[in-house]
Structure 1
């Protein structure tokens, strides 16, 4: 885990090491139930035309919404699992870093919803996504 992501307050037992986030170069820089922020390089996360892959934006969005949901769920002794995601891709990006910021739309006892805004280095909106998570009882030993 990088020093930056280690500084972020991730849910108990959660690590980005050896995960899809790690593979895609996603670095979590801030994490709370009220706001989750991370960066992701465009390089290595592109489609055949050299543009940021829409699926990469979705991975970033789902990861941030899931981390926020997990932090909220922990207060109820639960874990969060994604049940729905949608995304609108607004503009293409060819290089640099994108930044995702997740903020809650709804924080309940059984479900959460987050809006995630992905921007480029010029602070131009690249993607807007929404994820809904279900909060379920934590598995034994977690």
Structure 2
């Protein structure tokens, strides 16, 4: 039998808080018609323009098929452009557009609002300490 997580477990609390923050950010994005999955794809393409579907899927932790559906939606909305001809077996070169940049700004604003809530609840110094601790944990926590 697996032990139940305790309310004082850091991992459990991060999971619960992460879910709440994610819900707030997704709600803030809802009027744009985009989701965190779209925002994630755009963020990866901002950092590394020209990425292929396969690489974008690896970075996002989803299948190439799933990322294709995400990118197709982004292309339809004018947030991403493909600079190679479509075709089976060809590597797509994907780039952000001005619309994609605007969406990333909407995402930054949504996260800034969530950060403001955290800072209000914790206080400025505790918020800075939490941010530093999370960066340390992320840098040392084994990735996929």
Larger Rg: 2
Answer 1 or 2: which has greater strand percent: 1
- Higher RCO, 1 vs 2 (CA within 8 Å, ≥6 residues apart): 1
